[in-house]
A and B are shown apart, each in its own frame.
Chain A
Amino acid sequence: MSDTNTITADRPVFGRRDPDARGYFGAYGGRFVPETLVAPIEELTAGYFAARADESFRKELDHLLRHYVGRPTPLYETRRLAASTGVRVFLKREDLTHTGAHKINNSIGQALLARRMGKKRVVAETGAGQHGVATAAACALLGLECDVYMGSEDMRRQALNVVRMELLGARVKRVDAGSCTLKDAINEAMRDWVTNVADTYYLLGSALGPHPYPLMVREFQSVIGMEARVQILEQAGRLPDVVVACVGGGSNAIGMFDGFIDDAEVRLIGVEAGGEKIAPGRHAARFAGGPGGGLTGVLHGTRTFVLQDEAGNIELTHSISAGLDYAAVGPEHAWLRDLGRTEYVNISDAEALEGFQALGRLEGILPALESAHAVAHTMRLIKDLPDGSIVLVNLSGRGDKDVQSVVEALKK
């Protein structure tokens, strides 16, 4: 681990914590892909390593993060959410970025890389639609053709985002397979990529997939943690005691955690989707353990914790939030958990709804249902923390897209 004093800049950090040469974080990661994809992935790795070492690439990224995305995003100390306790809660406002979620940090970075590698066309998958919208925007900005695969169930849940993507010039491709959610959209995006490798760039939206994606996505998202660390030191005069972030694939969480990973005294907590209950098909808590919890396996090119049955088939998942509704988790999370550096909890659909409403009523902020999981866990956590504790929550996205789902859920 490098000197913590190096984190003084509010920009993404590159090359600080690479996996091994085969793309492993401990026992997790690697490249489990069909042979046709090996060469494109090697090309991508070389292209990424060259780009991140190139000052002009980083300069253009910094420029776009500042003037297009709207960074740095604010760090806001809540006024009423924790008022009944002696705990201070700070929100990292990724919901205030252009397009409304942290996903744009990665989409801009990878779209710049795609253009640098001479690719004319981008394919992407999306769950909640936030990665699709961010990628559509980045492709519009850089003049790249863009196809976004989306499960039909997610298209129903996130109808607004489908329209947004189309207005941004992307084609949304409907996926009617399996659970018709994120997992199936990734399958279809990978099938497209394997067919069109020569001119097509696969812009994966989470810290998942074969090496170098988990590394690359974390590094583009590291801007969240770097900014937050600088901001909390400015505003509170010290590091937080706890950092909380929701974990689907895990990109907002790993980007936030990256700023604090070397600060051993800071607890890092990832919040998974507990769904209806921890039983097969009813949740997406890969680290839940016990019957219905995840086991080591391979999905979408990476070895990690996966929800699966006895025969190794991937379990269907459920979450009220489309962005957390996925059977595997980013490999670096699995490694950090093994090391004891991070902890994972889960929050049910009902609790997430409470978090969603509480933040609206108490702070005037509607969080994305994904981020509402982190808010809900924070509300649980602050009851037990000593007075004067500081909790930093990554508010990864805004909730406009979820209003319809929330109205439906509250009727039940």
Chain B
Amino acid sequence: MKVAEGRLAEAFARIRADKAGPGLVTYITAGDPDLKRTEGILLALQRGGVDVLEVGVPWSDPLADGPVIQRATERALAGGTNLSGVLDMLGRLRPELRVPIVLFSYANPILRMGAERFADRAREAGVDGVLVLDLPIEEAGEFRGLMTTRGIDTILLLSPTTSDARLRAAAGLGSGFLYAISRLGVTGARDAVAEGAEEMVRRIRSVSALPIALGFGISKPEHVREVGKWADAAVVGSALVNVIAQAAGVDQNGELDARVEEYVRWLKS
């Protein structure tokens, strides 16, 4: 087993030690509704008991995302949010955050910044892990090296279509945790967790001891509890982005932050 040193390893060790229930990993699109309020949202998520914060970098062509995150991305881009701004924001906020941060991005913003410069800036900003959605194992070699030398985990995504050979490769190359998606398709909340989730986790467990976070379609406490039967943590994305989108319209006196905190407390209930 690969032993990672950072906050992600600590967070999952704590989740595994704590028998109370599965961990909760949340995704938000940075810059929606704007970068300043993203800071408040991240702090609210931490207060609500989230174990890992995934922060999405908005990009013009989010082809792995469904309508909810596409719209959030459009709002963030319209407000001028970009990778550089997200890293600056995380760097400012890092002293107030105890929970680990995983940056979610498509490849092109990172390549445009330069992978090495990105790696340096991510380290300075206190980023704990990076997941690049359109950088499969075959293309990720050099990138992973840059991350590893800076103590940043490369989070790999595994799908129901991932072959056993590729699962083994990912088990060897990934660190921090493995992000499993339980069904095919783009991101978006669903009424029920996909049937293949249990089988997906079983396949991964047979080749890796890394913690597993399972996502795609999770929106309710019963989903989180169900996922917790097999995986170490549940990932909630589109459903939370939806809560933010609705609350942002009526945001006054910290209403947005309060609703976000309330939502994640409910998820863990």
The interface of chain A, by Cβ under 8 A from chain B, is: 22, 30-40, 177-178, 183, 186-187, 190-191, 194-198, 295-301, 306, 308, 310-314
Interface size for B (C-beta < 8 A) is 39
Give B158 Cβ to nearest chain A Cβ, in Å.
6
Q: Does the CB pair B112–A314 fall under 8 Å?
A: no
Known: A311-B109, A313-B82. A35 touches B59 (CB 8 A): no
Q: Does the CB pair B112–A311 fall under 8 Å?
A: yes
Count of inter-chain pairs, beta carbons less than 8 A: 115
Give A127 Cβ to nearest chain B Cβ, in Å.
15
**Complex CA distance for A190 and B185, rounded to whole angstroms:** 10
Q: Does the CB pair B181–A39 fall under 8 Å?
A: no
**Complex CA distance for A312 and B110, rounded to whole angstroms:** 8
Known: A194-B185, A195-B186. A297 touches B82 (CB 8 A): no
Known: A22-B138, A178-B61, A191-B186. A35 touches B111 (CB 8 A): no
Q: Does the CB pair B82–A311 fall under 8 Å?
A: yes
**Which listed residue, B77, B84, B157, B185, touches A35 by the CB 8 Å rule?**
B157
- Cβ-based interface call for B242 (8 A): no
Q: Does the CB pair A40–B161 fall under 8 Å?
A: yes
- Measured between beta carbons, the chain A residues less than 8 angstroms from B134 are 32-34, 298, 301
Can you list 15 A-B pairs, Cβ within 8 angstroms, ordered by A? A32-B135, A33-B136, A34-B159, A35-B161, A36-B160, A38-B138, A39-B163, A186-B63, A197-B184, A298-B107, A299-B61, A311-B83, A312-B109, A312-B113, A314-B60
- Measured between beta carbons, the chain A residues less than 8 angstroms from B159 are 34-36, 38-39
Q: Does the CB pair A312–B112 fall under 8 Å?
A: yes
- Measured between beta carbons, the chain B residues less than 8 angstroms from A310 are 82, 112
**Complex CA distance for A312 and B184, rounded to whole angstroms:** 27
Mark contacts of B77-101 with chain A using CB atoms, 8 A cut-off: 1 yes-contact digit, 0 otherwise.
1000011100000000000000000
Known: A38-B161, A299-B108, A313-B60. A32 touches B139 (CB 8 A): yes
Q: Does the CB pair A36–B108 fall under 8 Å?
A: no
- Measured between beta carbons, the chain B residues less than 8 angstroms from A197 are 161, 184
By DSSP majority rule, is chain A's interface helix, strand, loop, or mixed? mixed
- Cβ-based interface call for B190 (8 A): no
- Cβ-based interface call for B269 (8 A): no
- Measured between beta carbons, the chain B residues less than 8 angstroms from A32 are 107, 134-136, 139
Q: Does the CB pair B108–A35 fall under 8 Å?
A: no
Q: Does the CB pair A187–B63 fall under 8 Å?
A: yes
- Measured between beta carbons, the chain B residues less than 8 angstroms from A190 are 63
Q: Which of A33, A298, A301, A306: most chain B Cβ within 10 A?
A: A298
Known: A31-B138, A298-B107, A308-B108. A183 touches B113 (CB 8 A): no
Give B135 Cβ to nearest chain A Cβ, in Å.
6
- Measured between beta carbons, the chain B residues less than 8 angstroms from A313 are 59-60, 77, 82, 108-109
Q: Does the CB pair A183–B108 fall under 8 Å?
A: no
- Cβ-based interface call for B64 (8 A): yes
**Complex CA distance for A172 and B161, rounded to whole angstroms:** 28
Give B149 Cβ to nearest chain A Cβ, in Å.
23
Q: Which of A190, A191, A296, A306: most chain B Cβ within 10 A?
A: A191
Q: Does the CB pair A31–B136 fall under 8 Å?
A: yes
